[in-house]
Amino acid sequence: MNIILLGPPGAGKGTQAAMLVDERNMVQLSTGDMLRAARTSGTEMGKMVAGVMDRGELVTDEIVIGLIREQLETATADGGFIFDGFPRTLAQADALNDLLDSEGQTLDAVIEMRVDDAALVSRITGRYTCANCGAGYHDTAKKPAKEGVCDKCGGTEFNRRADDNEESLKTRLMAYYKDTSPLIGYYYAKGQLQSIDGLAPIDQVKASIAGAMD
């Protein structure tokens, strides 16, 4: 299956996508990850990405679609693809539809993870990751079993994103509501949208996503 996970920053999309990758053999297509990988790949597309980013310009929709096309044509995804961070706008949604059609693929589900803004503030300002392996934690919701030690790799150094603060969050939420939230109506009109409670416990959210997919 090919799916989109929709939701504002901190909704838990990354956590759920990682579980889908592990358990369903899906491939997560993260716009940020693809751009970083392309920049150092040495390919023609990579050189184009590097040039744009080095000049401080915004990466165009055409470049992102090109990167996604490369992944659709080369990545082994027995379980399908998870689109993460794309589409962000209605124009990008149309472009993704055209791309999937041209590759003989379909978009099978769009899952909106609904959350409350006040809860997002608490969720985002409290999150941090292991500096060694990237495992995610939270001050209250997901502490390591042993304080100061990563459950996954045993690392003892942790990082917090510089923009994981209330002021930055408000800016990111404004961008989401302005550009991305119209996608909810777009996919609802197409009969593809399914909404779930993104504030439920992680396992319950996981079960809701499985229900939406199956």
Active site positions, annotated: 13, 88, 127, 161, 172
If DSSP states are collapsed to H, E and C, what string results for the chain?
A: CCEEEECCCCCCHHHHHHHHHHHHCCEEEEHHHHHHHHHCCCCHHHHHHHHHHHCCCCCCHHHHHHHHHHHHHHCCCCCCEEEECCCCCHHHHHHHHHHHHHCCCCCCEEEEEECCHHHHHHHHHCEEEECCCCCEEECCCECCCECCECCCCCCCCEECCCCCCHHHHHHHHHHHHHHHCHHHHHHHHCCCEEEEECCCCHHHHHHHHHHHHC
Q: How far is CA 106 from CA 39, 98, 113, 146, in A?
A: 28, 10, 21, 44
- Write the single-letter amino acid at 58: L
